[in-house]
Amino acid sequence: MSKILIVEDESAIADLEKDYLELSGFEVEVANDGQTGLKKSLTEDYDLIILDLMLPNVDGFEICRMVRAEKNTPIIMVSAKKDDIDKIRGLGLGADDYMTKPFSPSELVARVKAHLARYERLVGSAVEENKVIEIRGIKIDTTARRVWVNGEEKAFTTKEFDLLTFLAAHPNHVYTKDELFSEIWDMESIGDIATVTVHIKKIREKIEFDTSKPQYIETIWGVGYRFKV
Ligand code: CA
């Protein structure tokens, strides 16, 4: 459940906002003055902050500035004065949205939902997990370019890694040496299909328990190789 902080000194407005947000399924806390609002914003984790501009003790400008220095929590700033909204936009304090009072509570809920969705997309893409291929005892982290065999990390050269990853990404597909060479080595590079054989041998030494009886990269005689699943 998303947790929202309302910093608002007019309790009638704070209560109305709180009611509507709670009815929409949000967990809501209210701070009635700037000092409390600032402290809560900095010390607790909220998914979004609704911040009034004119507040006792510490005003919304200052809170926005100080929160932004430490956190990316979405902030919707509200003010009774249109002029103030224009002023804070101009200051570039880093608020995500601005609303002029009075506004309809359903408008506020709609904006809150939109900002939470946008923020989740941003955060979600930032912490996107590495692409990992796992086939039996082999784990290939294609993003970090690391390989583990039965839990033990093994070092691969760039081309060995590319070749292993290509085969593992297309399990049970038989590739000829020509196909593998043109896939992994660019056309200008010096070498021939014997290079593929040499690299397969080196990869097998690292991943196979018994290189004479490969369990992962199989030789298909007269054709090429495949990664067996
Ligand atoms: Ca106020």
Predicted pLDDT at 220: 93
Distance of CA 54 from the midpoint of ligand 1 (Å): 4
Distance of CA 118 from the midpoint of ligand 1 (Å): 27
CB-CB neighbours of 156 under 10 Å: 20
Predicted pLDDT at 22: 96
Distance of CA 70 from the midpoint of ligand 1 (Å): 24
Distance of CA 221 from the midpoint of ligand 1 (Å): 80
Distance of CA 59 from the midpoint of ligand 1 (Å): 9
Could you give the CA distance from residue 103 to residue 229 in angstroms, rounded to a whole number? 60
Distance of CA 24 from the midpoint of ligand 1 (Å): 24
Strands (DSSP E) contained in the chain are 3-7, 27-31, 48-52, 75-79, 97-100, 132-135, 138-141, 146-149, 152-154, 175-176, 217-220, 224-227
pLDDT confidence tier of residue 121, bands split at 50, 70 and 90: confident
**What are the structural domains of the chain?**
3-123 (3.40.50.2300), 132-227 (1.10.10.10)
Distance of CA 68 from the midpoint of ligand 1 (Å): 20
Phi, psi of 61 (to 5 degrees): -55, -50
Predicted pLDDT at 190: 66
Which carries the bigger pLDDT value, residue 46 or residue 89? 46
Predicted pLDDT at 111: 94
Distance of CA 120 from the midpoint of ligand 1 (Å): 29
pLDDT per position as a tens digit, 200-225: 999 999 999 999 999 999 999 989 99
15-34: average pLDDT = 96
Distance of CA 67 from the midpoint of ligand 1 (Å): 18
49-75: average pLDDT = 92
Between the alpha carbon of residue 143 and those of residues 129, 130, 162, 198, the distances in Å are: 9, 5, 12, 25
Q: Is the pLDDT of residue 80 over 90?
A: no
